[in-house]
Amino acid sequence: MQTVIYWFRRDLRIEDHAGLAAALATGAQVVPVYVVDPAANPGGDVPATRTVMWRGLHALDAALQAQGSRLICRRGDPAGIIPDLVRATGAGAVFALRKQGAYFAARDAQVATALAALGAQWHLLDDDTIVPADALRTKTGGPYTVFTPFAKQWLAYLRAQEPGEVLVPLARLRLVPALRDLPSTVAAAFGAAGEAADARLPAFAVSTEAAQARLAAFTGQGDDPNQAPIARYQQQRDLPAVDGTSRLSLHLAWGTLSARAAYLAALGAARGCNDDGRAGCRAWVTELAWRDFYHHILDHAPYAERSAYQTQYATLAWEGEAAHFAAWAAGRTGYPIVDAAMRQISTTGWMHNRARMIVASFLVKDLLLNWQLGETYFAQRLIDHDVASNNGGWQWSASTGTDPQPYFRIFNPTSQGEKFDAQGDYVRRWVPELARVPARAIHAPWQLGNAERSALCPDYPPPIVDHATQRQRALALFQAARTAPKA
């Protein structure tokens, strides 16, 4: 019987899956493979990624076993391992989904060359985004570089295409004689270190069941959609103290849920909603469009992964201090909302989107540090790390990216806190030193008198920089780069 390999990467599911469906459609027996590649994460072989992978791969293996198959899991460089498995199984083809990012592209090119030398076919399919990267073009034929017109076309495309779930003929996974001689398990691929989880990370599941349960709870499947969180998303999405967003980013980043399924669930919810609820559904779908946008951007401008998207800012003369980076990372900057957010990411591996924007702006515009330091730090900590969304988010905040707002958009960490965490609930949750500070001073504890400060928050540091001063310095820094003679 003919054999093909399906190589799972950031698509840890067996349902609604264009790549697996294509492999099974060949009629060959499919060998499901995952390669634990310690070099794949830009942050390195880090506990957050290892933890997610360990949980996600066990869940994927269990899902495959329930279908009479199982996951072949190896550790190392896929450029050697995938051709080895082709030789061992006699596979005539390898199928996989394309993932944005320079590392993945280079790795895939190496695998493609090795497979060609073996006479095996290489099928790389697009199923990571809701709309494929090459589907949208401006009137002049170029890719979209500004979000608002992109989102308009993106919605028009989806209205015309009406995507549906990709059905996977799972029964065919049972044809598995080729798996008998391949004893590689998930546990073996992780070696003696095992899960080596970050003990501080909460117990979240990385499985399709967990993703679908979260999606159902968020979109109100089975209940009145007007009461579902998605219907209130517009009002609550910017409040980091409120559990008002979907928290599906982990699942979308690791593919335990397809982005298409998220979009279809939002459409379903909108149908049952009143006008207010529909506005919530629309706002949430716009976030899915941001995800596609950043993935498409990296496709069209791969250089942005390593450098400023706006090339005039590629050589900004950063003036910041290493000690300030350490204070930022430790959540000890003296700006409560920044510190709360940085402690949230350290403790949970996740950070609210508003908080991500605030800490990113602070690192770049207040501490005058290179956004790439923050991008790497996030890559090392986030359980939902995604190369394109992380790069896009950092470059947007740093004003080096696609944001059409000029460089002078600088978040004031105090007024951001007052606006989006008015009572200070988010700050008090993550910064216990400020638990007794009243709401009037929670975002600017330095304004308390000496006596009150010593009584209420003696252990909380004063601000490490003065926002007004740093704002002027940031403006000068960007201005210098804009007016520098072109090399």
Which residues are catalytic, by number? 287, 290, 318, 353, 371, 394
Q: According to the binding rule CB under 6 A, does residue 340 interact with ligand FAD?
A: no
Piece of 14-22, 141-149, 219-227, 249-257 that binds ligand FAD (CB under 6 A) = 249-257
Structure tokens given for 385: 């790390």
**Residues contacting ligand FAD: total by CB under 6 A:** 28
Nearer to ligand FAD, 115 or 298 (CB): 298
Helix/strand/coil for 5: strand
Phi and psi torsions of 133, nearest 5°: -60, -30
**Are 19 and 96 a contacting pair, CB within 8 Å?**
yes
Using CA atoms, how far apart are residues 461 and 450, in angstroms rounded to an integer?
13
In the complex, minimum distance from the CB of residue 162 to ligand FAD, in angstroms, rounded to a whole number = 21
Q: According to the binding rule CB under 6 A, does residue 154 interact with ligand FAD?
A: no
Using CA atoms, how far apart are residues 321 and 116, in angstroms rounded to an integer?
49
In the complex, minimum distance from the CB of residue 477 to ligand FAD, in angstroms, rounded to a whole number = 19
Residue nearest to ligand FAD (CB): 393
Nearer to ligand FAD, 12 or 248 (CB): 248
Nearer to ligand FAD, 74 or 354 (CB): 354
Write the single-letter amino acid at 88.
A
In the complex, minimum distance from the CB of residue 415 to ligand FAD, in angstroms, rounded to a whole number = 18
Among 154, 294, 377, 411, binds ligand FAD (CB under 6 A): 294
Q: According to the binding rule CB under 6 A, does residue 288 interact with ligand FAD?
A: yes
Q: According to the binding rule CB under 6 A, does residue 254 interact with ligand FAD?
A: no
Piece of 16-24, 50-58, 157-165, 242-250 that binds ligand FAD (CB under 6 A) = 242-250
Near ligand FAD in 392-411, by CB under 6 A: 392-394, 397
Nearer to ligand FAD, 6 or 328 (CB): 328
Residues in the chain: 487
Near ligand FAD in 210-239, by CB under 6 A: 237
Among 16, 305, 366, 386, binds ligand FAD (CB under 6 A): 386
Using CA atoms, how far apart are residues 472 and 467, in angstroms rounded to an integer?
9
Q: Which residues, at least 6 apart from 46, have a Cβ–Cβ distance to it below 8 Å?
A: 379, 380, 381
Q: According to the binding rule CB under 6 A, does residue 245 interact with ligand FAD?
A: yes
Among 357, 369, 373, 427, binds ligand FAD (CB under 6 A): 357
Q: According to the binding rule CB under 6 A, does residue 249 interact with ligand FAD?
A: yes
Phi and psi torsions of 125, nearest 5°: -110, 160
Among 45, 238, 287, 425, binds ligand FAD (CB under 6 A): 287
Strand order across the beta sheet in which 121-125 lies? 72-75, 29-36, 3-8, 93-97, 121-125
Q: According to the binding rule CB under 6 A, does residue 260 interact with ligand FAD?
A: no
Helix/strand/coil for 131: coil
Give kind and range of the element (H or E) at residue 29: strand 29-36
- Count the Cβ atoms, other than its own, within 10 Å of residue 162: 8
State the residue for tokens 């000068």. 476
Q: According to the binding rule CB under 6 A, does residue 252 interact with ligand FAD?
A: yes
3-state secondary structure 139-167: CCCCCCCCHHHHHHHHHHHHHHHCCCCCC
In the complex, minimum distance from the CB of residue 233 to ligand FAD, in angstroms, rounded to a whole number = 7
In the complex, minimum distance from the CB of residue 414 to ligand FAD, in angstroms, rounded to a whole number = 19
Sign of the torsion angle spanned by Cα atoms 470, 475, 481, 483: negative
In the complex, minimum distance from the CB of residue 213 to ligand FAD, in angstroms, rounded to a whole number = 14
Give kind and range of the element (H or E) at residue 7: strand 3-8
- Give the C-alpha distances (Å, rounded to integers) separating 308 from 65, 118, 299, 387: 45, 39, 15, 14
Q: According to the binding rule CB under 6 A, does residue 278 interact with ligand FAD?
A: no
In the complex, minimum distance from the CB of residue 287 to ligand FAD, in angstroms, rounded to a whole number = 4
In the complex, minimum distance from the CB of residue 344 to ligand FAD, in angstroms, rounded to a whole number = 11
Among 365, 385, 428, 443, binds ligand FAD (CB under 6 A): 385
- Binding to ligand FAD by CB under 6 A, coded x per residue (else -) over 296-335, reads ----------------------------------------
Residue from 359, 365, 360, 362 nearest 318 by CA: 365
Among 136, 248, 270, 281, binds ligand FAD (CB under 6 A): 248
Provide the H-helix boundaries in 72-207: 78-89, 102-118, 147-161, 186-190
Residue from 251, 242, 241, 215 nearest 230 by CA: 215
Binding site for ligand FAD (CB under 6 A): 237, 245-249, 252-253, 287-288, 290-291, 294, 353, 356-357, 360, 378, 382, 384-386, 389-390, 392-394, 397
